[in-house]
Amino acid sequence: MNRRTFVSSLAVAGAAVAAGPRLFSAGSKPRPRLGLIGCGWYGGVNLEVFAQWAGVEIVSLCDVNEHALTATLKTVAKYQQAAPKTFSDYREMLRAGEHDIVIVGTPDHWHALGAIAAMKAGADVYLEKPISVDVIEGEALVAAARKYGRVVQVNTQRRSNQFYLEARDKYVSSGKLGKIGLVEMYSYLGSEGWSAGSVPDAPVPPHLNYDLWSGPAPLLPFKNIKEERGWRAFMEYGSGPIGNLGVHMIDKVRWLLGLGWPESISSNGGIYVEKSSFSNISDTQRSVFHYPDLDLSWEHRLWGASPIPTRHWSDQWGARLIGRNGTLNLTMLEYIFTPADGGPREGVHMLSKTGNLENIDFNRGINPYAEVEKRHVLDFMTARENRGRPIADIEEGHISTACCELANLAQKLGRTLAYDPKTRTIPGDPEATRQLARPYRAPWVHPDPTTV
């Protein structure tokens, strides 16, 4: 699929997704049996893509929030007559029946345990990013996938964006960008649930099992914002903006440039400005991932004005590949090459009516990433058929996620870290090595990559 075909397909993607035939028909074979753990925002997005394109039978839904289960049942009813069984505990769901596929779309602190349990139960897994909240969780996920022979696709769906491949071919692989010495990744979007000031504690609503929602994380006082995406404002449940937003940029750049583990990671940041915020995530962070003759940097700031002129929120989140001959800026909807010699800019915006950087209409009423989400799910389904590794295999998701977690740890400890994935340690730094795994709240037990 070339850029013209891809961009043109966006104009009909919304209607096609709603009305078109499933691309991955099982034919005479039984439809793959699918279960969903985590019926919130992106778990629901993933579920609908599978329902629309993957020819699955949705047999199970699991969530600790009764309201989320009720809403998701209504969604499933759009695609099949048979209602799936519902559960509040993923362990009961996995014991109740065989699943070919399990989507894990929970808050981050539940990713590892749910995904490993699904693999042990015989399912291939479609796992939301970041895959874990600490490095050893990620190692355990990779170990489980290999031990049980499971296909695990991480929803770092930018790897399925042909738009980025076109930019790589035109400017990186061709040599037009020249030697790349620096990549600057950034977000000025803020983070879901974060705000200045305080948020009061609240009674736990009767439709939510908050103890099970907290799971291996500390049982903190409940706040209403946790019921939706506001849990991202707490480090107890995730990895802050770098783990939420930065992981997409790190993964995208690693994929485009063919990079593995960095040689070292350093990071500075903290709560510099909004001292009165209820949130404990960093409102300011700058991290550097060092490779031979190349630095990848990440920057976010949750306060003040953005340095980037804003036409659309997607402009505020991206990566700049800086080469000898120019700069290639990649956002969610656009790539722009700016020559170093002052020549004219060139590139493409997904919502351009003319296939360039002009005549952009942000109100076209289409979802420009619907095609990408579909391609990512179909890549997973093909990998299942072939029993091969998908484009966003769990090991790739682990490296990108661990980069974020190691950056947070480097910031916390105030020193540069160099992780050795072979020994699963930070050589010469026993204190940092001990903190590669977070403490779990009893009775939950942290997964061990040597015994999963």
Cα torsion for 388, 5, 246, 223, to the nearest 10°? -90
Kindly state the helix (H) or strand (E) to which residue 60 belongs, with its residue range. Answer: strand 57-62
Backbone angles phi, psi at 25, to 5 degrees: -75, 135
d(CA 323, CA 333): 21
213, two tokens: 């929602």
Q: Is the pTM of this model over 0.75?
A: yes
- Identify the bridge partners of residue 300 per DSSP, sorted by sequence position: 187, 285
Q: Residue 181 is which amino acid?
A: G
Backbone angles phi, psi at 294, to 5 degrees: -155, 130
CA angle 105, 195, 156 (to 5 degrees): 30
As a whole number of Å, the end-to-end CA separation of the chain is 40
Cα torsion for 57, 88, 151, 330, to the nearest 10°? 100
Question: By the 8 A CB rule, do 183 and 400 touch?
Answer: no
CB atoms within 10 A of CB 406: 26
CB atoms within 10 A of CB 136: 21
Helices 3-19 and 370-386 pack at an angle, to 10 degrees, of 80
pLDDT tens for the 452 residues of the chain, in order: 444 444 444 444 433 333 333 556 545 688 999 999 999 989 999 999 999 999 999 999 999 999 999 999 999 999 999 999 999 999 999 999 899 999 999 999 999 999 999 999 999 999 999 999 999 999 999 999 999 999 999 999 999 999 999 999 999 999 999 999 999 999 999 766 677 788 999 999 999 999 999 999 999 999 999 998 899 999 999 999 999 999 999 999 999 999 999 999 999 999 999 999 999 999 999 999 999 999 999 999 999 999 998 889 999 999 999 999 999 999 999 999 999 999 999 999 988 888 888 888 888 767 778 999 999 999 999 999 999 999 999 999 999 999 999 999 999 999 999 999 999 999 999 999 999 999 999 999 999 999 99
Spatial CA neighbour of 127 closest among 336, 370, 328, 380: 380
What are the DSSP E strand ranges found in 91-205? 101-104, 124-127, 152-154, 180-187
pLDDT tens per residue, range 367-408 = 778 999 999 999 999 999 999 999 999 999 999 999 999 999
Could you tell me the domains of the chain?
Answer: 3-158+375-393 (3.40.50.720), 162-367+400-434 (3.30.360.10)
pLDDT tens per residue, range 105-123 = 999 999 999 999 999 999 9
289-293, long-range: CB within 8 Å, 24+ apart, which pairs? Answer: 289/250, 289/262, 289/264, 289/265, 289/403, 289/407, 290/262, 290/263, 290/264, 290/265, 290/266, 291/259, 291/262, 291/263, 292/263, 293/181
| Region at 190 (left for phi over 0; alpha for psi -120 to 50; beta for the rest) | left
